Structures are given as structure tokens and as C-alpha cells.
Structure 1
Amino acid sequence: MPTKRALAQQLGVVAGFDDPRADLEQYRTPPELAAHLVHRADLEGDIQDRTVLDLGCGTGMLALAAALRGPDTVVGVDIDPDPLSTARKNERKVGSTTSVSWVRADATRAPLRPPVAETTVVMNPPFGAQSGNEHADRAFLATAAELSSVSYSLHNAGSEAFVESFAADNGGEVTHAFAAEFEVPHQFDFHDEASRSIDAELYRIEWR
């Protein structure tokens, strides 16, 4: 298995958003964080020979990270067509042997019916940081519960009680939790720093 560092280096060519939308909390997942998530999933046997869904895929960072680790199928879903166009370009730059299907759709109502027992969801859902968008990650978790047997998702720090409770209420169980850091660049008017490191958490959930 290639190292996590090697995976992060391969993902360094993945471009971010040309015109990011604040209402969708569109931030490029850092290559190191994407490599960490997918490497952990691979170690658990949740990538190779499985269907991998990236919900709210943006420009494709997590989908492409998974595609580099030998899955059977990868599908990236996003509601915004512009990042999907960038994702297709990123796919050509990364050059994985597994092709990715890019689907324009609401990731919380994904028009997909994969084989649940063989499907892994990877996602960096909105943290719900914008006013009126609180708990935006709830709908993404609900979709993961419907479409997969296991999911990996990034959440704002302090989400443990919420994620564990939601999983328990929807036939799931948090099996692993990891601390993570998310580097956010200055890209919106309300940002007052050149960049900021946000504490985040990565959860692995088994859905039954």
C-alpha cells in the first residue's frame, strides 16, 4: 500500500474552487487531510474493491484520493456544476486507474442506488457555520446511512455528541474518531485572516 505521504503528494495537483460559494461552504479539502481520511479508510478495508461515494464532492479531492487506492467504482456528487467541471479536469491531472463518475445532484437526495453492503461514503459536508445553515451535516449523514454500510466524514470540533447520537438513532455506530486540522484560506469577504486553522474531527461510522 502506498504511504499516506505519497497519496498527499499525488493530490497536490488537485485545484480548488474558482468562484467558491459561501452558502455551500465551498472550501478545498487540504491534500494532507484527504490523504489521512482515505488512508485510514484503506487500512480498514473500506476502499479497495468497493463502491466509494463522495457526497458534496466539490472539485473532487476525496473522490480522487479514493480512486488512487483501487476501489471498484467511484462516484462524486455535487449540486454545483462549476466545481464538477474542475473535478473532471482534476481527474485528468491525477491520472488514477479508476475512473470517476461525476453526478450533478443534491448530495442529500442523491439519485443513486448502490449495493449498500459494498459501499463506502467519504465526505467533507458543510459544518453549518453560516447563519441559517446550522447542522447542515445532518442531511449528509442521513444520506450516508441510507446508501452505505460505512462512512467517513469530517465535522467541526465538538461534534462528538451530535455524531454519536445521530448514528445511534439511525442504526449506526461510531467505531473510530480522530482529531484533525482544516486549513481555511482567505476567500470570502468575512474572512479577516490570510488563513486559519480550524480544529475538526473525522468519524468512521458503521451503518446497519
Structure 2
Amino acid sequence: MPTKRSLAAKLGVVAGFDSPRAALEQYHTPPELAAHVVHLADLHGDVDGRTVVDLGTGTGMLALGAALRGPARVIGLELDRAALETARTNERRVAASAPIHWVHADATRSPVAPAEPVTLVMNPPFGAQNSNRHADRRFLETASDLAAVSYSVHNAGSESFVDAFVADHGGGVTHAFAATLDVDAQFAHHTEETRALDVEVFRIEWA
């Protein structure tokens, strides 16, 4: 199996948002964090030969990471058409051999429902914007409907919420770990050139 470091290096060519939208909390997922999530999923046998769905794929970082680890196919759902065009360009840069289907759709109202078991990956909005409150909950609801197993990135301090939500939906958190998400200044309310956000990543098995 290729190393996590080599995966992060390959994802280093993935471009971020040309015109990020604050209301959608569009932040570029760092290659190192994406590689960490995908590598963990691969170690658990949740990528190779599987259908992988990336909710709110943005410019494709997690979807492309999964596509480099031998899935049967990858589906990336994204509401922003411009971001999807960047994702398609990034697909050519990464040159993954697995088929990738980019779908313009609201990730919380997924139009896809594969019959086979699905591994879902996502770095959902944290719900920090007033117009986007509880967005993370809506993404988890979609995951509970679609996925056999999911990997998701959440704001630090979300563990009790995630545990309770998953238990209420008949699932279980099997792994959780802390990580850092480096966010470059891109909106008017950002006062630092780069800010390191503490986040938590969860592996969840759904009933």
C-alpha cells in the first residue's frame, strides 16, 4: 500500500476554490488531512474495490484521494458548479485511474443511492455561518441514509454531538482522532494570514 506521505504529495497539485463562498464555508481541505483520512479508510478496507461518495466534494480533494487508492468508482457531489469545474480539472492533474462521477447536487439531498455498500468521505461545513446553521447535522443525516461506513471532519469539541447523533441513528463511532485544518485568509472576516483550526475526524459504521 502506498504511504500516506506519498498520497499527500500526489494531492499537492489539487487546486482550491477560485471564488470561495463564505455562506457555504468553502475552505480548501489540506492535502495532508485528506491523505490522513483516505489512508485510514484504506487501512480499514473501506476503499479498495468499493464505491466511495464524497459529500460536498468542493474541488475534489477527498474524492481524488480516494480515487488514487483503487476504488470501484468515486462519486463527488457538489452544489457549486464552478467548484465542480475545478474538480474536473484537478482530476486531470491527479490522473487517477478509477472512474470518477462529478454530480451537481445538494449534498444534503443526494440524488444518488447506490445499491452496493458505500464508503462516504466528507469535510462538511461546520455550521459557523448564520445562513448555514446545523449544516454538519444535515450532512450526517445524508451519511446515515447512504453509507455503510463514513469518515468525516468536524470542528473540535464535536465528539459528544457526533456520538449522540450516530447512536440515535443506529450506528456507532469506531475511531476518532484529532487533527489540524490550516485555513488561509480568504474572507473579509479573516484577520490572520493562516489559521490552524483544531478538528476531529470520525469513522462511523451505520446500521
Q: CA RMSD in A?
A: 0.7
Question: Partner letter of residue 202 of structure 1?
Answer: V
Aligned residues: 207
Question: Partner letter of residue 10 of structure 1?
Answer: K
Describe how 1:53-72 pairs up with structure 2 within 5 A: 53-72=53-72
Whole-angstrom CA distance in 2 between matches of 1:168 and 1:115: 24
Whole-angstrom CA distance in 2 between matches of 1:113 and 1:4: 30
For 1:202, the equivalent position in structure 2 comes to 201
For 1:12, the equivalent position in structure 2 comes to 12
Shift of 1:12: 0.2
Shift of 1:115: 2.4
Shift of 1:133: 2.3
Whole-angstrom CA distance in 2 between matches of 1:137 and 1:93: 30
Question: Partner letter of residue 205 of structure 2?
Answer: E
Question: Partner letter of residue 202 of structure 2?
Answer: Y
For 2:3, the equivalent position in structure 1 comes to 3
For 1:37, the equivalent position in structure 2 comes to 37
Shift of 1:136: 1.0
Consecutive unaligned residues in structure 1, runs of 5 or more: none
Query: Residue 164 of structure 1 aligns to a residue in which SS?
Result: helix
Residue identity (%): 64
Shift of 1:129: 1.2
Question: Partner letter of residue 129 of structure 1?
Answer: A
Describe how 1:85-164 pairs up with structure 2 within 5 A: 85-116=85-116, 118-164=117-163
Question: Partner letter of residue 184 of structure 2?
Answer: P
Question: Partner letter of residue 114 of structure 1?
Answer: P
Consecutive unaligned residues in structure 2, runs of 5 or more: none
Shift of 1:131: 2.1
Whole-angstrom CA distance in 2 between matches of 1:104 and 1:184: 25
Whole-angstrom CA distance in 1 between matches of 2:184 and 2:62: 18
Whole-angstrom CA distance in 2 between matches of 1:184 and 1:44: 28
Query: Residue 13 of structure 1 aligns to a residue in which SS?
Result: coil
Whole-angstrom CA distance in 2 between matches of 1:134 and 1:106: 16
The alignment status of 1:184 with 2:178, answered yes or no, reads no
Shift of 1:199: 0.2
Whole-angstrom CA distance in 1 between matches of 2:170 and 2:104: 28
Whole-angstrom CA distance in 1 between matches of 2:21 and 2:110: 20
